[in-house]
Amino acid sequence: MAGEPAADPRKRRRLMAVALVAVAAVAAVVLAVILAGAPWAGPQTAQPTESQASSTSPPSASPVPTPSESQPTEPQPTESGPSALETPGESTAPAPVAPGPTPPPETLPAPQDPPPAAPFPLGLAGKDVEVVPGAGKSVALTFDAGANSAALPSILQTLAGAGIRGTFFLTGSWAAANPAGVAAIVAGGHRVGNHSQNHPDFTGLPDAGIGDQVRGAEQAIMAAGADPRPLFRFPFGARDARTIAAVNGLGYVPVRWSVDTLGWKGTSGGVTAQQVADRALSALQPGEIVLMHIGSNPDDGSTLDADALPQMIERMRQAGYGFVTLDSLVAE
């Protein structure tokens, strides 16, 4: 039996094309099904390259945040920001800055003159006061210091024992030489006055010289720890209208005395302690100002005022008198 004739080549090519088309169709359907089940990611945006990021953003040691990290979160504290423990809504003032080094102290100003003392009553201007007006039955015991201080311990002890305060007129030279004496006077609660720098006769001085004497004593007395203002006593009691006006112009009221005990004359001058006390009592009057001295007689070394003081105080008290300092003279 003879074999069948061979298939037409054109027929085979058509069959192959049909098969390929069928396979392609099946593949397209399968691909469409696969793609339909995949999530939509949206268009992708270009990410900056490493070189671009470094040129447009500050370097950071932290990794690039993921989308979940970029969601809003609580503010994180920074080195200069508020603490992470702050309560929401509280003020977020900047943290205090630590103080820097303490600057060096400024240069101190030059020493200034002492403040002026309270002015004395105008009614005392032009006067060298001899009694304390309005003092009643009171006596002012006053002591001049210009030589030595031999009688000072005894005088201070007597006054302290009697509970009496006196007024001490000091020269500047005495105050500078006896700072311990000034301190003892002040510690006893006594008043201090100005008795010039070195005890000259003021009537023989020009106004400028008077200023030097008064201001020099003031500075020396204040340096020793006392304030003499505004009480002044003329050396030797020598004064006139010009010198009184000059002293007033320096802020002082001159204070003389009602009686001089003459105890400074000493035993060599024919004076006794009894005579000293008698002189003080013979001039007894309201507001009496008694002049005594704390130095010893240069010839015989006697201290008659200190010796007579206990008897003097006792007899004045028996007469019904008390005692005041010269602050009562200038009190307003």
Return the active site residues. Answer: 144, 293
Burial of 273 (0-12, 13-18, 19+ CB in 10 A): buried
Q: Are 168 and 192 spatial neighbours (Cβ–Cβ below 8 Å)? A: yes
326: closest CA among 168, 185, 187, 214? Answer: 168
Both structure tokens of 110: 């030059």
CA-to-CA separations, 258 to 70, 122, 197, 284, 289, in angstroms, rounded? 103, 21, 24, 9, 5
Q: Would you say 234 and 202 are in contact if contact means Cβ atoms under 8 Å apart?
A: yes
Confirm if 304 and 279 have CB atoms less than 8 A apart. no
Structure tokens given for 159:
């006054």
Radius of gyration of the chain (CA): 55
Q: Using CA atoms, how far apart are residues 146 and 65, in angstroms rounded to an integer?
A: 96
Cα→Cα distances 197→114, 168, 176, Å:
18, 14, 10
Measured N-to-C along each axis, helices 152-162 and 304-318 cross at an angle, to the nearest 10 degrees, of 20
Contact 220, 173 (CB under 8 A): yes
- In 197-301, DSSP assigns E strands to 231-232, 253-254, 259-260, 288-293
For 66, residues 6+ apart whose C-beta sits below 8 A from its C-beta are none
